[in-house]
Structure 1
Amino acid sequence: MKSVAAAARSLRKRPFRVSIEGNIGSGKSTCIKFFDKFDNVETHAEPLHEWRDVSGHNLLGLMYSDMHKWTFAFQHYVHLSRLKIQISPPAHPGITVKMFERSVQNSRYCFVHNAKKQNFLEDAEYQVLSTWFDYSEKNLDIDLDLIVYLKTTPQVVWDRMAKRGRAEESEVPLEYLQQVHDSYENWLSAPNVGCEVLTIDADRNLDCVKDDLQRYTYKILGGNHTN
């Protein structure tokens, strides 16, 4: 039986949706910026500015400072902000590709799953977040058409984080990056991801990654995809 979302997709056109996925420091922002030059592509970086100022509260900083206390509130807000990006109509009719940094699916199957596994969430909190996602999946068209996975090793991204010096990330241990990496691997290797996954080796230097983005541009921007 078709879901409400599947039925909605068959009744209206929407842009080809591409989620840029990867660990902290894997190069997602760079990837997003690479595609800014295309007039038919609408890009959305991760809304860090929103997470840092929720009516004056830095939820991102609070979450990293005490994951047991703040993960539930943070992931609730993350789901909302990703949902708004993912399902909002394009800015103008010429947009045929919508590209964003991480997805609603990422929140559920990577970060929320890991938070439960590491006991950052109580079971009741986990069930609330899972139900929120299940409702979105059933009643809204949140489907992805392609995932570009910037695959890295935890040590590499940990070194990059130290160099870029974001205040909120200063307390992030290597162990946490390993947990996120494992969650990504488990999620994107599952048979029911829901779309094609294009994996790019992002341990390499930036020029090599950009070469791959150039090589796969046709695929990443939907190829012969028709709505």
Structure 2
Amino acid sequence: MWTFKNNIAIATHCCFLLQSLTSRGINIIVLPLKTQQNRVFYRMISGKPGPLQREHRSKKRMHTASDCDANRNPVVKQVSVEGNIAVGKSTFTRLLGKTFTQWEVVPEPISKWQDVTSNTKLEDITSLTACGGNLLQLLYDDTVRWAFTFQTCSLLSRIKAHLEPSSEKMLKAKDPVKIFERSVYSDRYVFAKAVSEMHFINEVEWAIYQDWHNFLMQELGTRLCLDGIIYLRASPEVCLERSHRRDRLEEKGLSVDYLAELHRQHENWLIHRTADIHFEHIQNIPVLVLDVNKEFEDIAEEEEKLVNQVKNFIKTL
């Protein structure tokens, strides 16, 4: 039997994760501690080094394109729409859903972040209850306190959204496409990385997050693979202005400095390709860059231009 002692926070995340995976029909088999897999898992949840720690870090096995071709429907093309806060991702994905009616659009799970207590039975939720269960609001109110909690919640909710089965209508389509509003990869290589470099999470929390991400990608990576990425690109100043216009309550204190840091992380990952990516298929993934500094919502000419670029991009995947 495992005892968590001083690692209650990690154990809690572990319990939530196991519950989520089993509810999705993924079998979790707990083996004796002497097995290799459990030694690694034990190291992750206990914080104690196991005999495979050195081996695990030295090999750094990456998921390859061939890995992604296995154990997933080869017909459905999976594409994520990436970009800064308030760049226009929701507006853009709604446009794609309206234009390509047989495609399936998976929105970012913001509503789950705004009411996390509706899905938990934890008794000690004083801070969350006081804020109406709005973890997103807590993040902006006290980033240092809530950044790690938010990033682990964000990662889990994105995985759950990605693992939702495709609709029967889409699967029957001639050329089925599934569009995700952001992905588990931007969660790590943009947002979690940004709060780490801005010192909103400490080195221990960053190490735990990366360990979880690596483990989940190793176990579920073939089901979370993408065929392409659409990067909506706009300046931090434009994004800030759009944020003010949409007037989302949690973003009242959003700063241009934070948006500039997120912009830098997006550019390093998708434009300059200088980010240290641990998954080969993401390192070499096709990227469509769309300049959305100009307004496009309800402007027919701009919408048509963007839609045509996406249509041609999807054909190449």
Note whether the superposition's TM-score is higher than 0.5: yes
Of 253, 262, 272, the residue aligned with 1:171 is 253
1:25 aligns with 2:86: yes
- Corresponding residue for residue 108 of structure 2: 46
1:94 aligns with 2:177: no
Amino acid aligned to 2:288: L
Alignment length (residue pairs) = 224
Q: Where do 1:143-222 residues align within 5 Å? A: 143-188=225-270, 189-190=272-273, 193-206=283-296, 207=299, 209-220=302-313, 222=314
Amino acid aligned to 1:136: L
Question: Comparing both chains, which one has the higher relative contact order based on Cα–Cα distances under 8 Å and sequence gaps of 6 or more?
Answer: 1
Deviation at 1:11, TM superposition (A): 4.3
Specify whether residues 21 and 11 from structure 1 end up closer, same or farther in structure 2 by C-alpha distance, changes over 3 A only. closer
- TM-score, length of structure 1 as denominator length: 0.90
Amino acid aligned to 1:130: Q
Structure 1 unaligned blocks of 5 or more: none
Deviation at 1:39, TM superposition (A): 3.4
What SS is found at the alignment partner of 1:223?
A: helix
For 1:116-167, what per-residue CA distance to the aligned partner results, in whole angstroms no more than 9, with x for missing partners? 1000111111011111111122221222111111101011111111111111
Runs (4+) of structure 1 moved beyond 3 Å? 1-8
Amino acid aligned to 2:311: Y
Distance 2:217 2:140 in 1: 28
- TM-score, length of structure 2 as denominator length: 0.66
CA contact (8 A) 1:21 1:148 kept: yes
Larger radius of gyration: 2
State the percentage of identical aligned residues.
33
Q: Where do 1:24-173 residues align within 5 Å? A: 24-37=85-98, 38-55=100-117, 56-92=132-168, 93-94=171-172, 96-140=176-220, 141=222, 142-173=224-255
Amino acid aligned to 1:200: L
Structure 2 unaligned blocks of 5 or more: 1-60, 118-131, 275-281
Specify whether residues 52 and 117 from structure 1 end up closer, same or farther in structure 2 by C-alpha distance, changes over 3 A only. same
- Corresponding residue for residue 13 of structure 1: 73
Amino acid aligned to 1:193: Q
CA contact (8 A) 1:20 1:102 kept: yes
For 1:158-193, what per-residue CA distance to the aligned partner results, in whole angstroms no more than 9, with x for missing partners? 111111111100001111110110111111131663
Greater per-residue strand proportion: 1
